[in-house]
Chains A and B, each alone.
Chain A
Amino acid sequence: MKDITTVRLTVNGEAVERAVESRVSLADFLRDDLRLTGTHLGCEHGVCGACTVLVDGKSARACLMLAVQADGAAVRTVEGLGTPENLNPLQRAMMEHHGLQCGFCTPGMLMTLTEFIEQRRDSPPPSEAEIREVLSGNICRCTGYQTIVDAVMAVLNPPDGAA
C-alpha cells in the first residue's frame, strides 16, 4: 500500500502542492513530478554532489532527502538561477573560465557555490583553499577543478573592486 502525503512548498519561488509517496526522494520529486530536470542524479547515495539544491538557503543533497521532508520549505534549483539568455554572474564566470565540459556536475556545483556566495556577502574575498574546501563535496570528472576555482575567484574577487 502506498503511503502518500500531500506536500506544499515553494520551488524557485513558485508555490507547489502535490501528493507524493513517502519514499520518493526530493531529487526524484523535482525531476519526475515537477519536470525540473536541471537537478542531476549521479550516484544517488550522497557522494557525487550532482543533485545539490538549496533547502531554506542551505545546500543539501536532494538524493538524501525525502520529498515529504521538504514540506513547507523553500527549495531552489539551478532553474532558479539565470536563464540561457541571461546567465547570472556565477554562471557567466563558469562559462568564461571553462568551468565545465560535459556539464553533468555543473548544477550541483552552481547550487553549492550559490550558498557560499550568498553566505559570504560583505566578507573579505575567499582564498583558493577556502573555495576548494567548499567544492570538496562536488565531484567533477572533466575539469580538474582549477577552472571552476578560477570562475569563483573571478566572481568573488572582481578586478578593480567592480561588483
Chain B
Amino acid sequence: MKPAPFKYHAPRTTGDALRLLADNGDACVLAGGQSLMPMLNFRLLAPAHVIDLNRVPALAGIRVEQNVLHVGAMTRQGDLETSSVVRDAAPLLQAAVRQVGHRQTRNRGTLGGSLCHLDPAAELVTAAMAMDATLIAESAGGGTRRIPIAAWSAGYLTNALRPGEMLTAIEFPLWRGAQGHGFVEFARRKGDFAIIGVATLLAFDAAGTIARAAVAIGGCGPLPQRPAAVEQALIGQRPSAPLFKEAARLAATIEAHSDAHVRADYRRHLARVLTERALAEAANRVHDAGHGASQ
C-alpha cells in the first residue's frame, strides 16, 4: 500500500457527505479517484479522512431542462461520452471528453472531479469555459453557492470551493438555433493532458452570419482563457477561412508561460493554429438545436 493511513467514509446521501465534510477539517473528497489516488499514492496528500462519493447515487445524472444541461458532479466521463442527451444538447462537451485520458480512466473519472482538480489543460475545464458553465457548490445546513466558471480558479490547481463546500452539480446553458462546435488539442501522446486545447462554439443567424462566438483556450494559465478580441472579431461576420485565420492571429496574443515541456512562444503558436482549426471545425458542422426538456 502506498497512501498514508486515513479514515474512510462512504456516505449514501449528499447530506451525509456534506455533514462529514463539515465535521472533519482534514478531509479529501474522493470522486473518480483518477487524480486524487495518484496524489495519495505519492503522498503529495495525506488527509486524515477520505470521503468517498461513489455510493451517493443522487450526485450522478444528466438531464436537459429549460435550455440548460444539468450534470451531476459524480457523472462518469464515460457516461458523458456515450450519453445521447449530451450528444444532442452539448456535442462540444462530448468532443472534449473523448480526449480525456483513456477508456479505463473515463470509466471511473467524473466531470466534477476533473473540474475540482482543475488541471490547467484539462479538456472538460476548457469546454466548460467555452460553454459558460455554472458550478453548484453545497455545504452542510443547506448552503448553496452558484459559481461561474470564470470565477472557479483560486490559483494553479486550486478551485474556488471554501472549506466545507462540495461541488454537487454543473449547469451548462445551451445555445439555441443554428450552431457548430469545435474541439482541437495538441498533446505529445494520445490521452495526455493537452499542451494547448481549444474549444469553440459559433451560432449563426438566418442569413448565415456569426451571431455569437465563444473561444476558450486551455493550457496557458490556471484557468482556460476566453480572448474577447477573438470573439469580437468573429461576431457579425460570415464564416470563411480568411476570417478564421485573422481571428486566430489575435489568439496568439494571449498570456502564456514557459515550463519544463514547452516555451511560452510555442504555446502562443499552438493557440493560434488550434484556434483556427477549431473555428473551421465549428463552421463545418453546423446543426440546429431547439432544446426542449429531455431525459
Contacts and interface: CB of A to CB of B under 8 A. Distances in A.
B2 A44 contact: yes
B105 A137 contact: yes
B10 A68 contact: yes
B156 interface: no
A32 B294 CA distance: 47
Contacts of B102: 49, 136-137
A61 B5 contact: no
A133 B101 CA distance: 11
Interface stretch (B19-27, B36-44, B227-235): B36-44
A52 B102 CA distance: 12
B6 A65 contact: no
Contact of B104 (A1, A22, A25, A59): A59
B8 A24 contact: no
B52 interface: yes
A19 B101 CA distance: 33
B3 interface: yes
A133 B104 CA distance: 12
Contacts of A137: 101-105, 191
- Among B101, B102, B107, chain A packs the most CB atoms within 10 A around the CB of B102
Given A69-B54, A136-B191, A3 B7 contact: yes
What are the nearest 9 A-B pairs in CB distance?
A: A137-B102, A22-B8, A45-B38, A64-B37, A23-B3, A58-B107, A59-B104, A136-B190, A24-B1
Interface of B: 1-8, 10, 33-34, 37-38, 40-42, 50, 52, 54, 78, 101-105, 107-108, 190-191
